[in-house]
C-alpha cells in the first residue's frame, strides 16, 4: 500500500546549525505535502506545506523542497534554536480523503 | 477563533470497559479525522468524517467506531478496551476533507487502560 518514509528518526544538532529531514512517498498521485511540528503535550501543528506544482517554498527559517520525479520532499530548518526541538511529521495527500503521515523525526537542538 | 477542542484530556479505564471521546472542530470546518498516537507507531489513522458521513477508515478493529453530528462535532468510541489501546487520541479538523489543505489538531485525549 501507499506509505511515506521519513528519515532520520532522531536528529541532534547544535544551536545555530541547520537541520534537514527527508521524506519519500510512494503514491504518484500525491499532490500536497504538509509538515507538522509536535511539541510536548500538544497536538501536531502545521508549519509549512507545498503543492506538487511548486519546487520550493520558504517561510523565514524553514523551507521545504519537492522533487516529484524522485518522489522526495525535505524540510530544511536554518539557524536552529532550542525552541525548534520537537517531533516533526511529514505527510502526503492525494485528496480523496487520504493523507499519509511519516513516522516522525525527533529533533534535539543543543544550546 | 477557538481551536479544536477535545474532551476529556485524560482518561483512565479498566480493561473490558468502553470509552467515548469527543471532538469539537473549528467553526466552519466540516471534516473531522481521528488518529491514534503511540510512542513506537507514530500517527495511525482511524477514520475521517465529512458532513456526517465516514469517508475513509484505517486498519483498526471494529471495536473502534465513530460518528459525526450535524454541527460537525464528532465522537469516537472504543469498546471492550485492551491494554494496547492506551495511547494519545488526536482529533484533527479541516475545512475540506482529506487534509489536502492541512489539518488543525487538538491537544488530544490521553487514554490509559489498566
User: Measured between alpha carbons, how far is residue B12 from residues A52, B21, B74, B86 in Å?
Assistant: 43, 12, 21, 9
pLDDT at res. A61:
97
B chain contacts of residue A106, beta-carbon cutoff 8 Å:
none
Question: Nearest Cβ partner of A97 from B48, B104, B105?
Answer: B48
- The angle formed by the CA atoms of residues B66, A43 and A103, to the nearest 5 degrees, is 85
B113 pairs with which residues across the strands? B13
A chain contacts of residue B56, beta-carbon cutoff 8 Å:
97-98
Q: In this predicted model, what pLDDT tens digit does every residue of A15-66 receive, in sequence order?
A: 999 999 999 999 999 999 999 999 998 999 999 999 988 899 999 999 999 9
Contact at CB, B107 and A41, closer than 8 angstroms: yes
Side-chain-facing half-sphere of B5: CA atoms under 13 Å: 8
Q: In this predicted model, what pLDDT tens digit does every residue of A79-90 receive, in sequence order?
A: 999 999 999 999
Question: Nearest Cβ partner of A43 from B50, B55, B90?
Answer: B90
Query: All 3 cell numbers of residue A97?
Result: 480523503
A chain contacts of residue B42, beta-carbon cutoff 8 Å:
89, 101-104
What mean pLDDT is predicted for residues B45-55?
94
Question: Nearest Cβ partner of A104 from B42, B92, B104?
Answer: B42
The dihedrals phi and psi of A83, each to the nearest 5 degrees, come to: -70, -5
Three-state secondary-structure class, residue B2: coil
Q: Is the pLDDT confidence value at B107 over 90?
A: yes
| Average pLDDT for chain B | 94
User: How much of chain B exceeds pLDDT 70, in percent?
Assistant: 99
Contact at CB, B106 and A43, closer than 8 angstroms: yes
Amino acid at each position: 500500500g501507499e506509505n511515506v518514509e521519513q528519515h532520520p528518526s532522531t536528529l541532534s544538532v547544535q544551536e545555530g546549525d541547520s537541520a534537514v529531514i527527508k521524506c519519500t512517498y510512494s503514491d504518484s498521485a500525491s499532490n500536497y505535502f504538509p509538515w507538522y511540528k509536535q511539541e510536548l503535550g500538544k497536538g501536531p501543528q502545521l508549519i509549512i506545506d507545498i503543492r506538487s506544482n511548486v519546487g520550493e517554498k520558504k517561510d523565514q527559517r524553514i523551507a521545504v523542497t519537492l522533487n516529484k520525479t524522485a518522489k522526495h520532499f525535505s524540510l530544511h530548518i536554518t539557524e536552529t534554536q532550542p525552541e525548534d526541538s520537537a517531533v516533526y511529521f511529514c505527510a502526503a495527500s492525494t485528496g480523496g480523503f487520504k493523507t499519509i503521515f511519516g513516522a516522525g523525526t525527533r529533533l534535539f537542538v543543543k544550546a | 477563533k477557538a481551536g479544536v477542542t477535545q474532551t476529556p484530556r485524560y482518561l483512565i479505564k479498566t480493561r473490558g470497559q468502553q470509552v467515548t471521546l469527543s471532538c469539537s472542530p473549528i467553526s466552519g470546518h466540516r471534516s473531522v479525522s481521528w488518529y491514534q498516537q503511540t510512542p513506537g507507531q507514530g500517527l495511525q489513522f482511524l477514520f475521517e468524517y465529512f458532513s456526517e458521513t465516514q469517508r475513509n477508515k484505517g486498519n483498526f478493529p471494529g471495536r473502534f467506531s465513530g460518528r459525526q453530528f450535524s454541527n460537525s462535532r464528532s465522537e469516537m468510541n472504543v469498546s471492550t478496551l485492551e491494554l494496547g489501546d492506551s495511547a494519545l487520541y488526536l482529533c484533527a479538523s479541516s475545512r475540506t476533507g482529506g487534509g489536502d489543505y492541512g489539518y488543525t489538531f487538538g491537544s488530544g485525549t490521553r487514554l490509559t487502560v489498566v
